Structure 1
């Protein structure tokens, strides 16, 4: 009986085992033949081992996708997904060739969930699947050894969110567009999102980023050298771009100049396109370009018939001969007098306007192009189609000029149509400006000569103004206004405690009143201060060259033996921290004013990083170094630790870490590496402090023992962002703006410098309405609930915000 039971049990086990699906043995393939299949765990590897394909999932999700990724790069970087819209629901998914030679994915009882639909295979006897070292998954004739053959099917014809070298984006000028990037829904869902990166074939083809039917950013039209809206000066050192334009097709692709370079362009779920390059040194993907790059990249930001110039203020201006109207954009001052009374005004170094309402001809010269435009009363502008070899071809615009801007590096010339009378007026106005400029220069020289004589006489009599730093045989001596020490002593009532405004790491600040009634702020450096002569000279030199409404103005200095004084314009409302961290005074700053203060600080930093004569890194940006004038306009102060850079310099290292804990980014606090992105991190901390009314170093949430950055991040990912906002009333309209500012603040405090935006992007994001990129974890974020974490323990909270120095970078 027992033997019969054993036999029956064995038969049941045998039946169950035979009925179970065959488990993958994790095979590695170099090609897939018609009699083979792949399951979860199996991989298909390219010949040189550069790319790998197989089934994968996201985290703990049961959804299975078949995709392609870089084989030797960690973490896994997905570049293509076959069944992006139809994930398999369990681990029984299988990839194979069907009887018709098409590549399919089967999902158990669901049947075929994805099919390559390879219509050209019928004429081929034997088909094989291979993964090329370009990342292209192809179906090819198994009897052919040609790797460059006309494939029966290829994944490059069906791109996802990633643009790889060798891939082509094509638009068929006859049957319509195809082959373009589409975003993922989110980083954990590769299904088609709302955004696209493609060639728009209306008019002369141009590169655009869109969300649905709405254009977000425009790369512009191809001019034989580059897309007119893209800055490629750096990219052309490592990439070769090519475009083919025929009567039937427009195609765009790029190749790497060095085959060992791993690079990719990715369209994110918000419509931003970023190019990444793998760094073997840092073992990370470094962002080397992105669009939008600045405010002017936003499509039609300034309205019709206008020009956007990111280097001017305001950045939007009407084209000459046009004036602004109340509906947005600009209209003509003088109507055109077609066909005999018009001419053209040239604009140089421009991103050409939207070409969706344009006409082009490759054979016409620029002169013929002008003649053709004049004959057509609807034509409003013309330019060369191709700028190579002196220029060729004709590009005409009709109707309003849309989305034109000053190009960041290599732009193009365009001719805007105006009535002849308007052209004469512009010419006369320019001549008058030249005359006034010359007259102004002459008057300035005369005035300067008189001033020098007056100063010379005054110096002899009073010794009030003298040379600050004497450097023999040097041409870069600096002149600064030197106040007599006794004058400042009297102004501050002998540095009375009643006159003291505050105290920092380098000394005290006093209020003073000069004999003429002018109010001043005097920074008296402590005799034991770590800010020595070099830091003192540095601050004087730096402040003497900087002029911006969001920077505090240096009036002069005073030196007497060991005493070093800096004299600034007086800020009656003192520093920002006196308001936002005080229970009573914080109520005086409503949300409109708080957001204006954040915007002002951003513009001040943008000036330091981009628009000043030198590139300045502040290195000690914090709320106590933001002063408020009588109108509550913020002004960045305290430049003792600032560093200036020349030319293309952007970062440096130091063994002397100086700054304030809580505002310093990780790479600076730990390694002594600083850049403009260091100030961006500090700015992000300031933003979150202004909005929350809490100090980063002095705050620990009771549950997770995180600092303010960690607390803000946790609220963000849990969808409870509004809980961060200070207890000041707000309505629904302002709440959306506050959340946007929090979003920007989190982008600024990301762990890696390359993930933080630059200040031009920050200013744009604060003001814009476009979707923002998703932030990553902030720096110094421990996460989790580990109350013993040395990074996040409440024991580490401190309210000491004095500037520090002489710390050795580890």
Structure 2
């Protein structure tokens, strides 16, 4: 019971009348009232004076609303920050929180305990460099205050009818949402982190992160990898060092680097009234100073930021980025200038010749286009893809942008089905009446051209009732879209992990889904023209048609192999935590047995209705896989079964499915069965071997569990982001 005392204190009482929480108001007033404001702020105040004795906005949970002040009162030390929930059913503080770090030049960070998970970059006068939800928009006005008394950020909507919120999800993703009155749902608009380079210190010191390049990290100009061997393997943790070491006794100069996210400012020094020329002099006079910048893009030459440690967490932002001036040995710059002059003498004549040749080619192409208007779309399609993909004709229509825009009602929010790592997905209706699903590549997507090509090439060549059907694609300018058959029942996780919808999945339907996924994987591994390893099998990538038939989707991470190949090594581990096999997550080895492991996790999740990641048990620290194995060894496998299945399940079928799932998630890939064996075991009464210890099962502590790689105690089904940044070696 929530009680309001005559002294103006809110108290929460349990059934026996004991106080379990109190607003702890110390100041007493004559006529206290408690009031819930239209903003969502619950306040305690004097009825005659608009002075708040206590307000809920000072103690946010996982949600920020307009009008909240997030920051630090420097006089009292009072922090206003918000935290992720511990789990979807436990609103106590989880692992992640959003807070200002007052050290150096203050900037907000998402913290995972004491470790920085993500930082926005410093306030640049208009917004934060890498925070789409913190940029000025037509809907919101942001106010940032930093003075001797307090540091805080707040925002207000320009239109009071627009309802927005920012939620810290359990996996450390900050999601900005706007309420849609038509659909009565929250529509997602921007999140942070948005891509691989947003995660803190991906390229470590003096490394430049660029999500658009294959290697993700490169050293800044005039810097080189500290450990060349590790760097070549994709291990960037050592960072970069100057090619020519700084020496305070020698002449130094500054080189301007543009279009970047300014480095970590926690150990920097800042002065507001210093212009850029004076800032340079200050850095020159201090031997420890390594770089300087003006953080404020709205006030040129008014503000000086100095760094005294290695520059960490730099990324390429292009036009959205800022300038920084880094101290270098003058001899390095002189050698570079001389080398550039020599290169120009060679390059300029070649450039002129290349330009002339390019003009001739353009003229020739235009002449041909005049006589060949038909089939133009397919030529563009062929030009977009590599020669390898053109060896076999892809019978796939190319849609123009206007057609897709009309079908989705100009990508209306009410047509939006959801959003994953690739980008938003919209429902559409073609003029002939066929319903379609349109997956539109987002510019903030962690995936890109390579994944787009993969999806088109693989799905266009694969035909199976348990694989999603690709109807066509759209490639126009920067726009890249994939058009699929529409799945009216959404994805498997939409049903599986929702308390209400999961009851619609009785045991016959779940077994039907398990068998369908198994047959789809068998086709990919053995019966298709290509041997395909999916590498990102999870519930959100299994779609359900109107008859609840499962369709494996999202082949952006897939790899193909020759008839005699079964696997490979990679330094770029892709997929989703909780579904990766041990040898893949830790060593970069992937094979058909990697998909078998993911399938085993899926089976256990389908039977239990519980996510492998985020599972917790009061008696042990293991994940769902470990819990299932413990129950199996004790002869209590059926305890893993979802409560909704007790009336509809066939006990022997459930027990057999759990047994097969545990065989698929065994630690050693040699022990795991092939998908042909899995299909046989699920559809017959052949004897089953006893499963050995599963992957990531330890008797030490949770930190050795593979789930701890993600530091995520649980995630809502709306989050379908695929991780593509793990450097496990």
> TM-score of the superposition, structure 1-length normalised?
0.54
The answer to whether residue 197 in structure 2 is matched with residue 287 in structure 1 is no
Matched, 1:729 2:634: no
What's the offset of the Cα at 1:623?
Answer: 10
- Which of residues 61, 68, 73 in structure 2 aligns to 1:167? 68
> Secondary structure at 2:670's aligned position in 1?
coil
| Aligned partners of 1:357 and 1:398 also within 8 Å | yes
Q: What secondary structure is seen at the aligned counterpart in 2 of 1:413? A: strand
How far residue 248 of structure 1 moved from its aligned partner, in angstroms, is: 2.3
Confirm or deny: 8 A CA contact 2:106 2:265 kept in the other structure: yes
Change (3 A) 1:365 1:642: same
Unmatched tracts of structure 1, length 5 or more: 1-93, 457-466, 478-532, 559-563, 566-603, 627-637, 672-676, 771-810
Residue 142 of structure 1: aligned partner:
47
Secondary structure at 1:344 match in 2: strand
Q: Secondary structure in 2 aligned to 1:544? A: helix
- Counterparts of 1:70-89 in structure 2, within 5 Å, are none
Encode CA deviations 1:318-352: one digit per residue, 9 max, x unaligned: 22222211370112222223376111111111111
State the shift of 1:176 in Å: 3.7
State the secondary structure of the residue aligned to 1:109.
Answer: coil
Against the structure 1 CA distance between its residues 694 and 313, is the aligned structure 2 distance closer, same or farther, given a 3 Å change threshold? closer
Q: Please give the per-residue CA displacement for 1:90-137, whole angstroms capped at 9, x wherever unaligned.
A: xxxx22223432211122435211111112x32x21100000111100
Residues 703-722 of structure 1: pairs in structure 2 closer than 5 A: 710=606, 716=612, 719-720=624-625
Corresponding residue number in structure 1 for 2:209:
308
Query: 3-state DSSP class of the match of 1:152?
Result: strand
Q: Does 1:545 align with 2:384?
A: yes
> Is 2:203 the counterpart of 1:242?
no
Question: What is the deviation of 1:668?
Answer: 10
For the residue of structure 2 that corresponds to 1:183, the secondary structure is strand
Q: d(CA) in 2 for partners of 1:116 and 1:695?
A: 50
Structure 2 residue aligned with 1:416: 326
Q: CA deviation at 1:204?
A: 0.8
Tell me the distance in 2 between the aligned counterparts of 1:471 and 1:351.
Answer: 43
Q: How does 1:433-512 map to 2 (within 5 A)?
A: 433-442=343-352, 444=354, 471-472=369-370
Give SS of 2:85's match.
Answer: strand
Q: 1:645 to 1:447 in 2, by over 3 A?
A: closer
Alignment-derived partner of residue 102 in structure 1: 9
Choose from 19, 25, 33 the match for 1:118: 25
Q: In 1, distance between residues paired with 2:46 and 2:383?
A: 72
Q: CA deviation at 1:411?
A: 1.5
Correspondence for 1:152 among 49, 53, 56: 53
Q: Which of 174, 182, 186 is the equivalent residue of 2:87?
A: 186
Q: Is the 8 A contact 2:133 2:192 kept in 1?
A: no
Instruction: Quote the residue 1:336 is aligned against.
Output: 246
Flag the 1:190–1:680 CA change in 2: closer, same or farther, 3 A: farther
- Equivalent residue, structure 1, for 2:35: 130
2:9 and 2:445 mapped to 1: Cα distance? 59
Correspondence for 1:763 among 710, 724, 727: 724
Q: Which of 361, 383, 404 is the equivalent residue of 2:293?
A: 383
From the superposition, tell whether residues 762 and 150 of structure 1 become closer, same or farther in structure 2 (CA, over 3 Å).
same
Relative to 1, partners in 2 of residues 1:372 and 1:625: Cα closer, same or farther, differing over 3 Å?
A: farther
Larger Cα Rg: Structure 1 or Structure 2? 1
The aligned counterpart of 1:576 is none
Q: Aligned-pair distance for 1:162? A: 0.9
- Determine the structure 1 residue equivalent to 2:390: 554
In 1: Cα distance, 2:446 partner to 2:238 partner:
31
* Cα distance in 2, alignment partners of residues 668 and 235 from structure 1: 39
CA distance in 2, matches of 1:111, 1:416: 61
Q: Is the 8 A contact 2:82 2:97 kept in 1?
A: yes
Please say if residues 539 and 640 of structure 1, whose CA atoms lie closer than 8 Å, have aligned partners that are also in contact: no
1:237 is paired with a residue whose SS is coil
CA distance in 1, matches of 2:380, 2:2: 68
CA contact (8 A) 1:266 1:273 kept: yes
Q: Is the 8 A contact 2:205 2:239 kept in 1?
A: yes
Q: Secondary structure at the match of 1:167?
A: coil
1:253 matches 2:89: no
Deviation at 1:738, TM superposition (A): 12
CA distance in 2, matches of 1:178, 1:199: 9
Moved more, 412-421 or 317-326: 317-326
- Closer, same or farther in 2 for the Cα pair 1:221/1:112, shift >3 Å? same
Quick one: structure 1 residues 127 and 648, their matched pair in 2 at CA, closer, same or farther if it must change by over 3 Å? farther
- The Cα shift of 1:472 comes to 2.9
Measure the CA separation in 1 of the matches of 2:4 and 2:137. Answer: 40
Deviation at 1:211, TM superposition (A): 1.3
1:374 maps to what in 2? Answer: 284
Give the one of 154, 161, 167 matched to 1:266. 167
Distance 1:386 1:379, change over 3 A: same
SS in 1 for 2:472: coil
Counterpart CA distance in 1 for 2:78 and 2:543 is: 45
Question: Which residue in 1 is equivalent to 2:177?
Answer: 276
Tell me how far apart the structure 1 counterparts of residues 255 and 291 of structure 2 sit (CA, whole Å). 9
- Tell me by how many angstroms 1:370 deviates: 1.1
Aligned residue for 1:390, secondary structure, equals coil
Equivalence map 1:689-700=2 (5 Å) = 690-691=592-593
For residues 410 and 170 of structure 1, the distance between their equivalents in structure 2, rounded to whole angstroms, comes to 25
Compute the RMSD of aligned alpha carbons.
5.1
Structure with bigger RCO (C-alpha 8 Å, 6+ apart): 2
Structure-2 separation of matches of 1:101 and 1:607: 48
Separation in structure 2 between the aligned mates of residue 450 and residue 473 of structure 1, nearest angstrom = 18
Post-superposition Cα deviations, 1:229-277, rounded to whole Å, max 9, x if no partner, equal 3235976232221101112211101112221222211112332212122
1:244 and 1:608 mapped to 2: Cα distance?
A: 31
Contact 1:324/1:330, CA 8 A, preserved across alignment:
yes
The answer (yes or no) to whether the contact 1:118–1:152 under 8 Å persists in 2 is: yes
Q: How much does 1:552 deviate?
A: 3.4
Instruction: Say whether the 8 Å CA contact 1:608–1:616 is kept in structure 2.
Output: no
Cα pair 1:229 1:352 within 8 Å, conserved: no
Provide the rounded CA distance (Å) in 1 between the counterparts of 2:444 and 2:52.
53
Deviations 1:144-200 (A, max 9, x none): 3xxxx3311111111111111110112133554611112211110011223210000
Alignment deviations for residues 515-572 of structure 1 (CA, whole Å, 9 cap, x no partner)? xxxxxxxxxxxxxxxxxx96xx75554233334xxx83435989xxxxx99xxxxxxx
1:204-223 equivalent positions in 2, closer than 5 A: 204-223=105-124
Number of aligned positions between the proteins: 519
TM-score w.r.t. length of structure 2: 0.60
The residue aligned with 1:360 is 270
2:388 match: secondary structure: coil
Which deviations, in whole Å up to 9, do the C-alpha atoms of 1:33-86 show, x marking residues without a partner? xxxxxxxxxxxxxxxxxxxxxxxxxxxxxxxxxxxxxxxxxxxxxxxxxxxxxx
Q: Judging changes above 3 Å, is the alpha-carbon distance between structure 1 residues 317 and 665 closer, same or farther for their aligned structure 2 residues?
A: closer
Name the structure 1 match of 2:571.
none
CA distance in structure 2 between the aligned counterparts of 1:116 and 1:318, rounded to whole angstroms = 52
Change (3 A) 1:295 1:179: same
Distance, in Å, in 2 between the alignment partners of 1:605 and 1:389 is 32
Match of 2:132 among 184, 207, 231: 231
